[in-house]
Structure 1
């Protein structure tokens, strides 16, 4: 029963992340699904409340959710949409994505395990996206280790705040559907309370640049300068690759970790 409910929650949250990425228009790539936490807040914790095997399962779900697997469907849908716009066959795109997934899983497992066993897991702390792997141990420590031994009831305070957030998002979505000129987008509320401290600067700058372009240049100018901003994104990715190659050439893993 709990396994089926966990899969259902995972599916619903993944759909929500897809909507956030598509409708919100912001490059959200790191969203974690904390399954065990939802059960602990709603039902409680303590010995006998769940079987020991269930607590272990919650621990593995924590790792699975912390690897941002919930964002994969959104990225895959974007890839399929891009293939559709560029004339690449859907079947060909699915095969390419599957091959990339297989290569990524194998190479990521090999290189991550080699680095962790030779230099320690916290060597990954300075390796970009690998920071999540280095933080999984802390995640266990904070949320999982005492769940089976410390008794606790339903956390009504957290449930209340979760409910207020869900109700506010639903109300904003309903108002936007019923009123054509409703100015507040539900995605703005979600981003503002969840990611605003990270995204307000880039989001404001991007919005202002787009507003200036459309306001004074029109749709034609907007289409003409869009490659410039795509080039900025691609350039940032290229610099990451460049410095990764330099670090490998210099024998540095980052922050003083020698190879």
Structure 2
């Protein structure tokens, strides 16, 4: 998690002038800043951010989390979302996860004594939106904006309404369908990780920490390791931006031991080797020519998974698991 936080701090620092322009435009001190090419106005974005942060903090506090702890937890969660978006968009991985979920990082930073029983319970419920984050919404929006830019759309404001509408419809429909399936067929008879493994993991963690408190003898070494990870990440970022022939990219460190990378590292290496030989011996022209073929491989796998889901639905088959990507 130290590497993740270091990445976010680095991005915030390098974009400090742009962020100053954004807040200046939002609060009227920089009216000359042009935000017409953005998905929403800077004023609306800043106001929405502030209202959302305050609302999240009050909601978490009402659920039992100490008020002083909410800024740290929310900041950690947003750091994870932000870092994953950067890694997915720049690194080219289809999805990923952080190596440590925000709730666990919070508990192992402050210990169970400071977090308290109600705080632990509140953190348990945050798993629903802050732990299973291999495909964050921020990354999907980033891809949509890139696609619009690629086809020459310079006024993306209408896309915002479509994104909000799709998110609302998807959330409502998936929630209703999940409840209906669970009550009709029994959740334990459906996907075991979603209805059995994940709930047991979440509140097993809460119960374990209530019965086995964490003191400074456990938290301090972990804070030190997080600091070490941040230091190594800072060194990699410095080397990447200072030395032209530096071979290692820093984006891999925050997700190096996450489940998607642990399972899919060999496929990533094969893709990297193909790109290496194509660019080295065929140049950028061959790379751009052959790129649709590899995009087709990705689309083919997704289409295959979707097709078998449709076939199972039409034939009444259940229990067939077609993995798209990695588990």
TM-score range (shorter-chain normalised) is 0.7 to 0.9
Deviating more after overlay: 114-123 vs 219-228: 114-123
Counterparts in 2 of 1:6 and 1:133: CA distance versus 1, 3 Å: farther
Paired residues for 1:6-21 under 5 Å? 6-21=73-88
Structure 1 pair 30–124 and aligned structure 2 pair: CA distance change class (3 A): farther
The verdict on how the C-alpha distance between 1:189 and 1:51 changes in structure 2, with shifts beyond 3 A counting, is: closer
Unmatched tracts of structure 1, length 5 or more: none
TM-score, length of structure 1 as denominator length: 0.85
Residues 231, 134 of structure 1: CA spacing in aligned structure 2 closer, same or farther, 3 A cutoff?
farther
What do the CA deviations read for 1:186-210 (whole angstroms, capped 9, x no partner)? 1233343335422221111111211
Aligned to 2:245: 181
> In the TM superposition, what whole-angstrom CA distance separates every residue of 1:139-174 from its partner, at most 9, and x where no partner exists?
224311232343220323433333322221121111
Per the alignment, residue 289 of structure 2 pairs with: 224
Moved more, 106-115 or 162-171: 162-171
Consecutive unaligned residues in structure 2, runs of 5 or more: 1-67, 322-327
Provide the rounded CA distance (Å) in 1 between the counterparts of 2:159 and 2:239.
38
The aligned counterpart of 2:187 is 121
Match of 2:201 in 1: 139
Q: What is the aligned-residue RMSD (CA, Å)?
A: 2.5
Show the 5 A alignment for 1:76-225. 76-88=141-153, 89-125=155-191, 131-132=193-194, 134-154=196-216, 155=218, 156-194=220-258, 195-225=260-290
2:96/2:261 contact within 8 Å kept: no
SS of 1:145 mapped into structure 2:
helix
| Contact in 2 for aligned 1:52/1:148 (Cα 8 Å) | yes
Correspondence 1:57-76 to 2 at 5 A: 57-68=122-133, 71-76=136-141
* Native 8 Å contact 1:214 1:221 kept in 2: yes
Q: What is the distance in 2 between the residues matched to 1:212 and 1:220?
A: 13
2:33 maps to none
TM-score after normalising by structure 2: 0.69
1:26 aligns with 2:90: no
Q: Which one is further off, 17-26 or 133-142?
A: 133-142
Q: Does 1:241 align with 2:306?
A: yes
CA distance in 2, matches of 1:217, 1:150: 59
Give the direction of change, closer, same or farther, for the CA distance of 1:193–1:32 in structure 2 (3 Å limit): closer
Q: What is the alpha-carbon distance in structure 2 between the residues aligned to residue 73 and residue 233 of structure 1?
A: 21
> Is residue 2:64 matched to residue 1:2?
no
| Secondary structure, counterpart of 2:318 in structure 1 | strand
